[in-house]
C-alpha cells in the first residue's frame, strides 16, 4: 500500500496526467521516490508521475517531479502548467505573471481567466538549445540533440517504430543519464509527434519535448512560429519568448479529481 494518507489532486495537461502533492497545504509523503513508484505501479490511476509543490528559499513556487520509475527529471513543461493552474485555482498566486523554480532553474508562468471563468496557462521553458546532430543506427540516419533544461533527441521521418526505438535510443550509452526521444512527422495539421520519455515510457504529451521539436523544425525550415505540435493527448502551441532562447508553451489543463490516499 502507498506510504501516505495525504490529499492528492489529479491534473491533466493535454494527456499528461499527474498527481500533485501540495506541501503548501500541509501534505507530504514519507519517501517521494517509492511513493511515485507505488502510485504509478499498476496504471490504475493513469498517471505519468507525481508533482510536489512547495516554495523555495526566495518565496517562489517550486516544482519537483518524480517519474513513474521514481527518477527525478530536471523540469517538465506540462507539469509546470498544471502546477501554475493549481496555484491560481487555490489562491497561492493571482492571475498574471509569476515565477516558478525547478531543478533546471526558473520558469515564468502567465495565467489568465477567460470570460467563461476558465484558466488558461502558458509557461516559458528554456533556454532551448540545439546541441548537435547525432548519428542513429535505426529508423533514420540522423537525429538532433536538444537541451531544454532536460535532454531530448528529435527524429523526423514517416512511420517511425516508436515502441522499438524509443526505449533503445532513450537508454543509448551516449546519453548516460537517459534521454527523451521525439518521433516527428511533418503534416499540414502541424508536427505530429510521439514521445518516449525516460523513466516513464511513451506518454500522451510532453511539453519540453514539444519545445525541442519546435526549435529544431524552425531551424530546419520545416515550420514557422507559432508551431503546432500535435500529440496523442492534444495540441501544444510553441512560440518565441521575449527572454533569450526561451519558448512559450501553451495548451490545456484539466482538473481530473481530488482524493485521499
Tens digit of pLDDT for each residue in 1-35? 344 457 889 999 999 999 999 999 999 999 999 99
Tens digit of pLDDT for each residue in 238-249? 999 987 799 999
pLDDT of residue 5: 57
Mean pLDDT of the 96-111 span: 96
Architecture label for domain 129-249: Roll (3.10)
Q: What percent of the chain has pLDDT over 90?
A: 89
Instruction: Give the strand pairing for 190-197 and 227-231.
Output: parallel
Question: Mutual orientation of helices 77-89 and 207-219 as an angle, nearest 10°?
Answer: 130
Residues across the chain: 261
Query: Known catalytic residues?
Result: 76, 206
Q: Is residue 150 within 8 Å of 208, Cβ to Cβ?
A: yes
pTM reported for the whole predicted model: 0.95
Sequence spans of domains, the chain? 7-124, 129-249
pLDDT of residue 244: 78
Residue 211 has pLDDT above 90, yes or no: yes
- Fold match between domain 7-124 and domain 129-249: yes
pLDDT of residue 42: 83
Spatial separation of the C-alpha atoms in residues 93 and 99, rounded to whole Å: 10
Tens digit of pLDDT for each residue in 104-155? 999 999 999 999 999 999 999 999 999 999 999 878 999 999 999 999 999 9
CATH number 3.40.50.1220 given to 7-124: no
Residue 255 has pLDDT above 50, yes or no: yes
Q: Is residue 197 within 8 Å of 208, Cβ to Cβ?
A: no
Q: Is residue 56 within 8 Å of 83, Cβ to Cβ?
A: no
Amino acid at each position: 500500500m502507498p506510504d501516505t494518507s495525504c490529499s492528492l489532486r489529479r491534473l491533466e495537461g493535454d494527456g499528461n496526467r499527474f498527481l500533485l502533492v501540495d506541501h503548501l497545504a500541509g501534505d507530504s509523503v514519507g519517501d517521494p521516490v517509492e511513493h511515485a513508484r507505488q502510485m504509478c505501479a499498476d496504471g490504475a490511476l493513469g498517471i505519468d508521475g507525481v508533482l510536489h509543490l512547495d516554495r523555495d528559499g526566495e518565496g517562489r513556487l517550486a516544482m519537483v517531479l518524480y517519474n513513474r520509475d521514481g527518477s527525478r527529471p530536471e523540469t517538465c513543461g506540462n507539469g509546470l502548467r498544471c502546477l501554475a493552474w493549481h496555484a491560481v485555482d487555490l489562491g497561492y498566486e493571482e492571475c498574471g505573471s509569476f515565477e516558478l523554480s525547478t531543478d533546471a532553474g526558473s520558469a515564468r508562468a502567465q495565467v489568465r481567466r477567460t470570460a467563461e471563468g476558465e484558466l488558461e496557462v502558458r509557461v516559458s521553458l528554456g533556454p532551448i538549445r540545439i546541441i548537435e546532430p547525432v548519428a542513429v543506427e535505426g529508423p533514420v540516419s540522423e537525429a538532433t540533440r536538444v537541451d531544454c533544461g532536460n535532454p531530448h533527441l528529435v527524429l523526423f521521418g514517416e512511420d517511425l517504430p516508436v515502441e522499438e526505438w524509443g526505449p533503445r535510443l532513450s537508454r543509448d550509452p551516449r546519453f548516460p543519464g537517459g534521454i527523451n526521444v521525439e518521433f516527428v512527422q511533418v503534416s499540414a495539421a502541424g508536427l505530429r509527434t510521439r514521445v518516449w520519455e525516460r523513466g516513464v515510457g511513451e506518454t500522451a504529451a510532453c511539453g519540453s519535448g514539444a519545445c525541442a521539436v519546435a526549435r529544431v523544425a524552425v531551424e530546419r525550415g520545416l515550420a514557422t512560429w507559432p508551431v503546432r505540435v500535435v500529440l496523442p493527448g492534444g495540441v501544444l502551441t510553441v512560440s518565441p519568448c521575449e527572454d533569450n532562447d526561451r519558448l512559450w508553451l501553451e495548451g490545456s489543463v484539466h482538473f481530473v479529481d481530488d482524493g485521499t490516499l
